A and B are shown apart, each in its own frame.
Chain A
């Protein structure tokens, strides 16, 4: 396996069986994938499409019914691969009786780190995920967003080369979602490979270089996000400060060239951007409140 290929699956299949060995569900059907070093790879699909099963097979949490998964050239059941790997599960499955420091210290002890390295890394990660003020609180007192953050911190405790994120933005508020996406892009900038699975398409689109779309356990599409999303026979023009005349002239040009004008109007911002802008403004000017009348007037 090439050094460039971090994860490879060959005809990877998984059938879930009941206690008596009878087939219950065929979760994954002969999946062939290659994830290259330094890319952000997204596994997309509706619920039950086999995304999480794929992640678990790659991690060795499940045994394949057929085929194999290789991570850094090693079999998925080889514990040695975990030295260079970080995993954030769908829910942050952590020991709720530990506090943030104890949690990270425990996971750090599972790696070959000196006490000084451990202390330094734990401190840095707690600050990085914004839990400095809650570092001594037990995780059972954490909100879901805080739990996700400490979950991410534990996934990064060993400064891994490969990070697997299962629904990384699940349960996060828009700010948390944005921070998570920023974190993924930062990991990419650091040269790390990220595999994430999500059914939130916008999140995947924002951060992933390549995606695989799964449906009913089968690979339906695989490729670069920009290539897959490009609509070849539609041209998009975005311009600022055009007059009414200019817009009419553009319509005439399109008509003259036998084109079909699909849309020409003023774009709306996204709700995410509006929300982030309000929160950012509120932090800058605390105490300012929205005027109820204005909101009422604004409503249709």
Chain B
């Protein structure tokens, strides 16, 4: 699973501290302060132009002071009344059509989704998450951007603002009302899509009895090898032990067959075998992540491994058959984390980079050992076979053997006094490379509920929906419906490509700033060659400097929609960390508060009857 930014503990993320210079809360305060100062200056300039220097100042003071007073006077009863109105409005505007569209999409989705995919759960969950996100964001956008302008157009706002209603109540009521409508839609979509995923992916096989062949060792029957029938566009390899053919074990569980992201139990039934329903289609692995560092081929510690030519430097690689190693240090290790077998379960994702083909489909050998970072005591190397991008599940047994052959206790001898443990992974084959990023190795804690994980995934869509609703409502307090919609769409698009936007704003991306990029585009000039020095280039650079400053300011308030999505966690079978969910909810709250305040002042300073 790709996790480019480390998920910090919630309080550290909120208040700042180790690893993050600024917490989210100070950042929020700073941005709000900046917006407030900017609004004061712009507001004063407009007021001074109309009412003179003193009159303008007085007007700004009156607006700000009465604004704060009115915000304190806001009544939950009135907010709820306006929220109810917004809900009725949405309902009468046939918002339920959106739900019908979603159900229609689900009905025909199976036609287009490959069920012979290596990991169908990932495909299906990604699909429903994407479909839901776009549909709900679209509905939220249309509801929020057009409601208030429509009230102005039909002048129904006259009968509302002539009641003791504060502008903030109108804004907040709409945000809450439309959010509740979309929440209802989202809940129904979540339920339907969950049933869709589970029911579509659930399947059974039969053991292809004809395919079973005996496996023997020195003439002694060890068991049978074979495969299942082809169902749901795939089949599994089957290995049965010798006892499985006996009819005395009717009903006995013979373990599981696993591939394609799920397993099936096999039981003896009479003369044959019964393959049970698919298990683990949806998983919620709970990872305990560590810190990664590398050693190069000479055994020297490095922050990164080798770059094998990828522009994306998320993963770096270690050479095979050398001292190069990836070393993860896990903190807070104690016996409470132990698995049912008494040791620790380890998950490892390996990207394999081959410099020679070898045998196609054959795994590359690797090895890992466990080490106490305090004493240097380490277990002997355990080998494993790595296939590219596959998640390997390994068990660290409670009893380990040291390099000198003595027995070690995992928690007593290999975990340091301050609860740290190191896992060292190496590639064993000459000329081949293993690539790792920090989240690629983790200790597996007891699995969380996949259904709850699914809810968490939808919660991240909910967060995006509420933010879009807030932007739509706040912008529509000043702008007409279509313009408010365009602005909100711009926020969504820029939010989904925020990283690129920031790269352009900070000049990191190739091709210069927006004006320079436009010139290069029009003149079909490549993005690397420097522009000819001259007055024109100076003007372009100057314009870009101004625009980049503006873009950087916009980036401070731009919601990072791409980072809100947690579909990748759920699709790849990882539990969405609670810290992450809390961070998203807090960010959402910050946007609602900030946008409600902005929306309040926009509506408050607007002539309703103009």
Contact = CB atoms under 8 A, between A and B. Distances in A.
Real binding pair: yes
Contact of B85 (A59, A61, A106, A112): A106
Contacts of A102: 88
Interface string A136-169: 0000000000000001001000100000000000
A227 B70 CA distance: 44
A102 B154 CA distance: 18
Interface residues of B, number: 32
Contacts of A85: 162
Contact of B156 (A79, A87, A94, A111): A94
Interface band, chain A: 20 to 34
A94 B89 CA distance: 12
B84 interface: yes
A79 B158 contact: no
B50 interface: yes
B165 A110 contact: yes
Nearest to A63: B607
Interface in B23-73: 49-50, 66, 70, 73
Nearest to B91: A97
B164 A111 contact: yes
A133 B259 CA distance: 68
A78 B70 CA distance: 9
Given A82-B163, A93-B156, A62 B607 contact: yes
B70 to A, nearest CB: 7
A87 B88 CA distance: 24
Given A61-B607, A110-B78, A91 B164 contact: no
B88 A94 contact: no
A173 interface: no
A109 interface: yes
Contacts of A62: 607-610
Contacts, number: 79
Nearest to A78: B66
Contact of A97 (B73, B88, B161, B609): B88
Nearest to A61: B609
Contacts of B49: 21
A95 B161 contact: no
A95 B158 contact: no
A46 interface: no
A54 to B, nearest CB: 12
B286 to A, nearest CB: 46
A111 B163 CA distance: 8
B159 interface: yes
Interface string A25-65: 00000000000000000000000000000001001111100
B58 to A, nearest CB: 12
A83 B162 CA distance: 9
Interface SS of chain A: loop
Contact of B81 (A83, A87, A106, A158): A106
Contacts of A59: 162
A89 interface: yes
Query: Which of B92, B93, B159 has the largest count of A CB atoms less than 10 A from its CB?
Result: B159
A97 B609 CA distance: 22
B155 interface: yes
A109 B89 contact: no
B158 A87 contact: yes
Contacts of A77: 66
A61 B162 contact: yes
A222 interface: no
B160 interface: yes
Contact of B89 (A63, A83, A95): A95
Contacts of B85: 95, 106
B546 to A, nearest CB: 24
Contact of B164 (A98, A106, A110): A110
A94 B78 CA distance: 17
Contacts of A80: 164
B159 A94 contact: yes
Contacts of A111: 163-164
B88 A93 contact: no
B607 A106 contact: no
Query: Which of B81, B89, B609, B610 has the largest count of A CB atoms less than 10 A from its CB?
Result: B609
A89 B88 contact: no
A78 B161 CA distance: 11
B94 to A, nearest CB: 11
B472 to A, nearest CB: 19
Contacts of A95: 85, 88-89, 156
Contact of A93 (B81, B158, B163): B158
B59 to A, nearest CB: 9
A18 B49 CA distance: 14
Interface string B582-609: 0000000000000000000000000111
A61 B81 contact: no
B166 interface: yes
7 contacts: A21-B50, A63-B607, A94-B156, A97-B89, A106-B81, A106-B85, A110-B160
Given A59-B162, A60-B162, A106-B84, 6 more contacts: A61-B162, A79-B164, A94-B159, A95-B88, A95-B89, A97-B93
When A and B form their complex, which 3 residue pairs have the shortest distance between CB atoms, in order from nearest?
A109-B81, A61-B609, A97-B92
